[in-house]
């Protein structure tokens, strides 16, 4: 009976909702799924690390491969593991369903969640939000946000640092509010492995794509990792502070692999079940990190779904970004959508529609970019527009549209329509393209940069190094205008609005703060660029024509202007009461575009952007300055 067989699934799929500890003041019942185990003991500890067990309880075999044990009394705050014997082998493992963990995630903890709620939590509401294309996502790493001295935070690099207001240099939460983004996307904040939580003062850094415990927050972002309840309370305080600022919270989740393979507690608990295997029986490596999670096995799928529902319900999380979503099977992604809809229909879901290596999961089952058409309200990152705007991430010296690379117009147009079919867009050929894969605009996340690869500013430095800073700033501004006036879901990498640099380092996942930290002094230095981003975001949020909710509406309303010179993309969007015209000029010289007859209010030019008219124009020949965007709205 193999793990993938129907017989195994029938005999051992456990659908109950009580995996992990279920606590009341009178007793706590533990249940763990381990169909291949011969014997399991529940082991309790006073501390999350070190010390000797305060007791050992033999667990009883129960339904569908589960083991259970109830113990009388109030056990909130107790740490626990399972001692699992299989044949002659015994392992002590952390519960995959541990809702809290101690230092370094080496023991689970029983928690009284009602005691983890900060003041005001009961009244916490998700900020108003309806349709995915109304989002403006900002991607940020918790530590990067406030670890730099220029942030002046009291709680440097911690969850609480991002709750602080009135910081010097306009740093942190105030900045997010000023900018006007709708969603803050946090790089991994679940418990990851690579930062030693027992050494909070030792400089350590990791992005966090090295999962240890999926259902507990990361300890190194809390003021006290040794008490498993503290990180929970402090992360909730961050969610509450963001919600009060009108910003929704997205978690970056990494259910595609675990930090350890054979040494992971998943593998020790049920060897071979949680990870996919190669034909030779070894760990397959679709993640490029040594293993990959078998999302298509029913108890793994259930674990992922239960985990997401836990974050959405207990922590009021408003969205999830799936790392290497291409390693998840489509069926799991559908189940995730259904389960989260039962919590809140407006929860935003998107992911990387690719893998990090080859996988035994058949191509047609993978949640790849080209397969997301099978999914409802789950988007994929458009590497197409990312690379079209500023050049491919894999070819460092190669530029894109904004640097004046010729022949990029159709690629930009495909991005403008959010990778849906449009009669005026001739989709470029090639493996990375695969035509209008999004089918609908809410499946397309539009961006020019993210934590991976070079920052936008560093990429511009590599590809336009002969150009003065003033010219590179124009390229940066044009890139932002393209992302924020394109259809689909715009996504910004933290700090790109003030020319963030990682000093030329591309993959900075474990580089020190000197590379990764956000230097908030740049906010003042590049104030004009910041204002430009802020104006574009305000304009987008005030302009439904930039965030049409269906491909049919895009095809009906959005028309590219014929006869645009090379290096120029220009289009009209017909609104109900007005029209919008948008021009991107990537040439290093001004161009003239013919503006249709109307009373136009200019909203974006080469230096300013916003909702207030900068000047008025009637139609006719329109000079567009070099490397710049232009947006105008007709008044009737
Ligand atoms: Ca950790």
- 82-91, pLDDT tens digit by residue? 999 999 999 9
Percent of the chain with pLDDT over 90: 98
- Cα 305 to ligand 1 centre (Å): 21
Give the pLDDT band (50/70/90) at residue 438. very high
- Residue 431 clears pLDDT 80, i.e. is over it: no
Bridge partners, 585 (sequence order): 568, 628
CA torsion angle 296 297 299 303 (round to 10): -30
Could you read off the pLDDT of 93-133 as tens digits, one per residue? 999 999 999 999 999 999 999 999 999 999 999 999 999 99
**Quick one: 89 exposed, middle or buried, by C-beta within 10 A (0-12, 13-18, 19+)?**
exposed
Neighbouring C-beta atoms of residue 142, cutoff 10 Å: 22
Cα dihedral sign for 363, 369, 372, 373? negative
Residue 420 DSSP one-character state: -
Token pair of 193, please? 């492995």
DSSP helix/strand/coil, 140: strand
Give the pLDDT band (50/70/90) at residue 30. very high
Mean pLDDT, the chain, whole residue set: 97
Token pair of 434, please? 């695969």
Percent of the chain with pLDDT over 70: 100
Helix (H) or strand (E) holding 63: none
- Cα 210 to ligand 1 centre (Å): 9
At residue 137's C-alpha, the angle toward residues 613 and 500, to 5°, is 85
Given the structure tokens 């993938």, which residue do they identify? 4
Residue 433 DSSP one-character state: T
Average the pLDDT over each of 46-60, 67-81, 425-439 and give the range with the smallest value: 425-439
| Residues with a beta carbon under 5 angstroms from ion ligand 1 | 105, 191, 218-219
- Residue 242 clears pLDDT 70, i.e. is over it: yes
- Cα 216 to ligand 1 centre (Å): 9
Q: Are 586 and 478 in contact (CB under 8 A)?
A: yes
Token pair of 527, please? 């104030």
Instruction: Give the CB-side neighbour count of residue 156, counting CA atoms within 13 A.
Output: 12
Give the pairing type, strands 137-140 and 183-186. parallel
Nearest to 234, CA basis, from 167, 144, 146, 155: 155
Token pair of 290, please? 């040594």
Nearest to 627, CA basis, from 594, 570, 588, 583: 588
Q: What is the pLDDT of residue 228?
A: 98
Bridge partners, 582 (sequence order): 571, 631
Domains, the chain, ordered by start? 2-93 (2.60.40.10), 136-423+437-547 (3.20.20.80)
For every residue of 278-311, DSSP letters joined together read -TTSSBP-TTSSS--B-TTSHHHHHHHHHHHHHH
- Cα 211 to ligand 1 centre (Å): 8
- Cα 5 to ligand 1 centre (Å): 35
CA dist 399 and 397 (Å) reads: 7
CA dist 180 and 75 (Å) reads: 44
- Residue 636 clears pLDDT 60, i.e. is over it: no
- Cα 253 to ligand 1 centre (Å): 14
Active-site residue set: 323, 352
Give the pLDDT band (50/70/90) at residue 1. confident
Range 389-410 average pLDDT: 97
Give the pLDDT band (50/70/90) at residue 70. very high
Nearest to 207, CA basis, from 250, 285, 155, 144: 144
Token pair of 518, please? 């956000």
DSSP helix/strand/coil, 619: coil
Q: What is the pLDDT of residue 635?
A: 78
Bridge partners, 56 (sequence order): 43
Q: What is the pLDDT of residue 433?
A: 81
3-state helix, strand, coil in the chain (%, to 5): 30, 20, 45
Could you read off the pLDDT of 216-225 as tens digits, one per residue? 999 999 999 9
Range 146-162 average pLDDT: 98
Q: What is the pLDDT of residue 146?
A: 98
Q: Phi, psi (5° rounding) for residue 276? A: -80, 155
- Cα 463 to ligand 1 centre (Å): 37
- Cα 247 to ligand 1 centre (Å): 26
At residue 311's C-alpha, the angle toward residues 308 and 315, to 5°, is 165
E strands within 352-451? 379-381, 444-446
* Residue 459 CB partners (closer than 8 Å, separation 6+): 390, 391, 396, 449, 453
CA dist 322 and 328 (Å) reads: 9
Residue 66 Ramachandran class (φ > 0 left, ψ -120 to 50 alpha, else beta): beta
For every residue of 19-33, DSSP letters joined together read -EEEE-SSEEEEEEE
Nearest to 107, CA basis, from 168, 165, 48, 22: 48
Q: Phi, psi (5° rounding) for residue 419? A: 60, 40
Nearest to 209, CA basis, from 309, 141, 298, 262: 141
Rounded to an integer, what is the distance from CA 432 to the centroid of its chain?
21
Convert 365-401 to b/e letters by CB count within 10 Å (16 or more is b): bbbbbbbbeebebbbbbbbbbbbbbbbbbeeeebbbb
Give the pLDDT band (50/70/90) at residue 332. very high
Starting at the earlier edge strand, list the strands of the sheet with 600-604.
558-560, 568-574, 579-585, 628-634, 600-604, 615-617
CA dist 452 and 508 (Å) reads: 8
CA dist 373 and 269 (Å) reads: 36
Nearest to 547, CA basis, from 485, 610, 629, 470: 485
CA dist 157 and 611 (Å) reads: 35
């Amino acid at each position: 009976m193999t793990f993938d067989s129907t017989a195994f699934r029938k005999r051992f799929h456990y659908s109950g909702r009580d995996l992990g500890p279920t606590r009341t003041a009178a007793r706590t019942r533990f249940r763990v799924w381990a169909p291949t185990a011969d014997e399991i003991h529940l082991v309790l500890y006073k501390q999350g690390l070190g010390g000797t067990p305060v007791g050992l309880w033999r667990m009883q075999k129960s339904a569908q491969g589960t083991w259970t044990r109830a113990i009388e009394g109030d056990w909130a705050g107790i740490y626990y593991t399972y001692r699992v014997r299989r044949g002659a082998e015994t392992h002590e493992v952390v519960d995959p369903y541990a809702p809290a963990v101690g230092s370094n995630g080496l023991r689970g903890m029983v928690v009284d969640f009602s005691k983890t709620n900060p003041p005001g939590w009961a009244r916490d509401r998700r900020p108003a939000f309806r349709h995915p294309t109304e989002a403006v996502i900002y991607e940020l790493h918790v530590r990067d946000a406030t670890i730099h001295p220029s942030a002046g935070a009291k709680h440097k690099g911690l969850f609480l640092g991002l709750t602080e207001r009135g910081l010097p240099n306009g740093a942190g939460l105030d900045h997010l509010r000023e900018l006007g983004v709708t969603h803050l996307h946090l790089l991994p904040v679940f418990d990851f492995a690579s930062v030693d939580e027992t050494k909070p003062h030792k400089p350590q850094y990791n992005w966090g794509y090295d999962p240890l415990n999926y259902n507990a927050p990361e300890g190194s972002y809390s003021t006290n990792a040794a008490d498993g309840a503290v990180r929970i309370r402090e992360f909730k305080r961050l969610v509450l502070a963001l919600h009060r600022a009108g910003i929704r919270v997205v978690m970056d989740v990494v259910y595609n692999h675990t930090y350890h393979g054979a040494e992971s507690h998943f593998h020790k608990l049920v060897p071979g079940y949680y990870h996919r295997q190669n034909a030779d029986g070894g760990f397959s490596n679709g993640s490029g990190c040594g293993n990959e999670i078998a999302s298509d096995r029913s108890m793994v799928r259930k674990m992922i779904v239960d985990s997401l529902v836990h974050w959405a319900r207990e922590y009021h999380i408003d969205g999830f970004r799936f790392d290497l979503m291409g390693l998840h099977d489509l069926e799991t992604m559908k189940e995730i959508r259904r389960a989260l809809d039962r919590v809140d229909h407006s929860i935003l879901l998107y992911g990387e529609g690719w893998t990090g290596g080859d996988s035994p999961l058949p191509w047609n089952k993978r949640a790849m970019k080209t397969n997301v058409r099978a999914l409802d309200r789950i988007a994929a990152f458009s590497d197409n527009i990312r690379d079209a705007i500023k050049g491919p991430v894999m070819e460092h010296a190669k530029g894109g549209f904004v640097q004046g690379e010729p022949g990029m117009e159709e690629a930009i147009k495909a991005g403008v329509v959010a990778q849906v079919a449009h009669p005026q867009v001739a989709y470029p050929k090639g493996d990375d393209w695969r035509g209008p894969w999004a089918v609908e605009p809410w499946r397309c996340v539009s961006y020019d940069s993210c934590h991976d690869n070079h920052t936008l500013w560093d990429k511009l430095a590599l590809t336009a190094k002969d150009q003065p800073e003033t010219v590179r700033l124009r390229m940066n501004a044009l890139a932002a205008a393209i992302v924020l006036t394109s259809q689909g879901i715009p996504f910004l990498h933290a700090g790109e609005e003030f020319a963030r640099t990682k000093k030329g380092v591309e993959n900075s996942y474990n580089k020190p703060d000197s590379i990764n930290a956000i230097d908030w002094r740049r906010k003042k230095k590049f104030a004009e660029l910041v204002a430009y981003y802020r104006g574009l975001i305000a304009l987008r949020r005030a302009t439904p024509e930039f965030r049409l909710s269906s491909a049919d509406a895009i095809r009906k309303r959005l028309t590219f202007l014929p006869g645009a010179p090379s290096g120029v993309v220009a289009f009209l969007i017909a609104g109900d009461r007005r029209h919008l015209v948008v021009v991107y000029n990537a040439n290093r010289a001004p161009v003239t575009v013919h503006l249709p007859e109307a009373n136009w209010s200019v909203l974006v030019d080469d230096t300013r952007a916003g909702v207030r008219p900068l000047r008025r124009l009637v139609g006719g020949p329109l000079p567009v300055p070099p490397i710049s965007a232009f947006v105008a709205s007709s008044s009737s």
